[in-house]
Amino acid sequence: MTNSNNYNELNRQLIQNKIGMTAAELHGFLSGILAGGNHDESWKILTKDMLNDGQSIAEPLNKEIEKLYHSTKQQLIDEDFEFQLLLGDQDLFTQIDDLVGWVNHFLLGIGLVQPKINRVKGDVGEAIYDLRQIVKLGYDENEDQQELGFAFEEIKEYVRITAMLCFDEFNESDITPTIH
């Protein structure tokens, strides 16, 4: 199934279950939890709280969320940099809105797992600061579509790399081999 099909199907299920979140926002939230270093099943509780005020989630949707969580985790662990943001492929303005929603929910997810994220220094601290600025970005529908498209692709790639950087930073103990 393509990224677009995954996005559309997940969005359809979220709407059907009256969940006020897009597939991009859900993926950003799960990516943030993973990047923040979550190592247990508490992600399920955080997700239920976020999506459905702590209430259980209908089973077909719950399975999709678990599948998304595990595939995202595998992409982040993979050393081939396969991690991709789950965004729709609609018009450019909708994609920009999806990206901003993804980043906003990524920050929420990572903040839940790393409550002192504001105190992180170095490259990761700067990247988190940059993500906060990206959330504030706006656009004018009269802007040059080509320039806006190039800027969008650059920002999207920066966000993707930043998510992987955060994952590496907060998951080092799982990835680094033990030396005796």
The per-residue pLDDT for range 122-133, each reduced to its tens digit, is 999 999 999 999
Please name the amino acid found at residue 6. Answer: N
User: Rounded to 5 degrees, what are φ and ψ at 22?
Assistant: -85, 165
Question: How many Å apart are CA 25 and CA 132, to the nearest integer?
Answer: 15
Residue 179 in this model has a pLDDT that exceeds 70: no
Question: CB–CB of 124/35 below 8 Å?
Answer: no
pLDDT single digits (tens) 60-104: 999 999 999 999 999 999 888 889 999 998 899 999 999 999 999
Instruction: Determine the average pLDDT of the residues in 120-149.
Output: 92
What is the pTM for the complete model shown? Answer: 0.91
Task: Show the tokens assigned to 111.
Answer: 């903040």
Question: CB–CB of 141/104 below 8 Å?
Answer: no
| Domain spanning 3-171, CATH architecture | Up-down Bundle (1.20)
pLDDT band at 2 (very low <50, low <70, confident <90, very high): low
Burial class (CB in 10 A: 0-12, 13-18, 19+), 168: middle
